[in-house]
Structure 1
Amino acid sequence: MPLPFLTADGVSDADDDADAVLAHVDHDRWRRPYRPGPWRVAIAAVLLLLSAFMLLATMIVAFVGAGAGALVCLVAALAVVGSALRMLQMGVWVSRAGLRRVAFFGTRSLAWSEIVELRTVQQPVRWLGLPRTVQGQALTAAGRDGAELPVLLTDHNADFLSRAEAFDRAADMVAAWADEYRPVTA
């Protein structure tokens, strides 16, 4: 089993290997064309750690004999676990059918025929999804009839913060999927 993190020069070929491994995967299935970023994974890990403590509290409350309190603790812990899993699902997903933007509270799918163009623009973007905005890059899509769709990716979200090259690769991958599957109009 190769362990790329043990290489002498510290350079990993994991991204190149992943492309070679995924080359045979069915293009009809939804997939994220990039890996979740370290901020997203760290936040989800902290939420899962919190849920472990909440489940321990649920067990203690149940052993004490307070059934209603244990049920409340269990529901709260399951809500935290669900939030962590949803955070890991958030992002842009692509398939032969189209593009899907998964947000925390909703998902929006668009067929490739509904998207006129994808472009990377400089604009104020939200920092880690918080209300604070900073100047950054965003991958945006323009729909039919000039409709501006929500921002798909930014270089300051939980997947690409401090990883500009990863943002560029992800934007290029989404654009490549669009070029391959978007119908050609004359």
Structure 2
Amino acid sequence: MPLSFLTADRAFDTNEDVALPHDDRDLWRRPYRPGPWRVGVAALVLLLASFVLFSAIIIAATDSLSAAGVVFGVAVVMIACALRMLRMGAWVSAHGVRRVSFLSTRTTAWQQVASVRTVQQPVRWLGLPRTVQGQALLLVRQGRSAETGSPLLTTHNADFLAREEAFNRAADAVEAWAGEYRRP
């Protein structure tokens, strides 16, 4: 069973001449692959969930079914958290750009985007409160205040830590989508 949220467009890796390689522009896609930190943490959570599921089976065989149900519920929550961690990031389509975080998803239509640019600024290291100097891809919305939200991508998040070239490719891809679809 292919897990579509784990893979980026293969065309981004194979065809460097085309700025926007895509078949269906209406599908939401992540223009980069999830980073090793994100995949590693999700794999560890899934490994722990397998042990919790195994303990639920042992509890069901030796103790009450209600206790096994609670442990099974904990395992299901762990699996859901691991899958949500894998879906986190920036997604693009012809409709706009979507920033998926652990607890929320925010979609901005291309018509509301004033600019998408890469800037040098302090960024959070792996999402922790500690900040370091790095690059961030910022989305500036149109409007009275020209509001800038949190960065779409940074060089020190779980997808791009120690992968500067991958960050540059992903930032270029998101900027290319913005260049094609937003109104000047």
Q: Give the TM-score category using the shorter length.
A: 0.7 to 0.9
Partner of 1:170: 170
Distance 1:144 1:23, change over 3 A: closer
List gaps (5 residues or longer) in structure 1.
Answer: 1-12
State, as a whole percentage, how many aligned pairs show the same letter: 55
CA deviations 1:108-127 (Å, max 9, x no partner) are: 00000101001111111111
Structure 2 residue 122 is matched with structure 1 residue 142: no
Partner of 2:3: none
TM, length-normalised to structure 1: 0.87
The separation in 1 between residues aligned to 2:162 and 2:22, in whole angstroms, is 31
TM, length-normalised to structure 2: 0.88
Please tell me the residue identity of whatever aligns with 2:73: V
The separation in 2 between residues aligned to 1:62 and 1:102, in whole angstroms, is 37
Distance 1:17 1:50, change over 3 A: farther
State the aligned residue count.
Answer: 171
Matches within 5 A, 1:1-186: 15-16=13-14, 23=21, 25-145=23-143, 146-184=146-184
CA deviations 1:120-179 (Å, max 9, x no partner) are: 111111111111111111101111121112211000001000000000000000000000
**Does 1 or 2 have the higher relative contact order (CA < 8 Å, sep 6+)?**
2
SS at match of 2:66: helix
Q: CA RMSD in A?
A: 2.0
Structure 1 segments, 4+ long, off by >3 Å, are: 17-20
Work out whether residues 36 and 158 of structure 2, in 8 Å CA contact, stay in contact via their aligned partners in 1.
yes
CA shift for structure 1 position 23: 3.8
**Which structure carries more helix by proportion?**
1
Distance 1:24 1:108, change over 3 A: closer
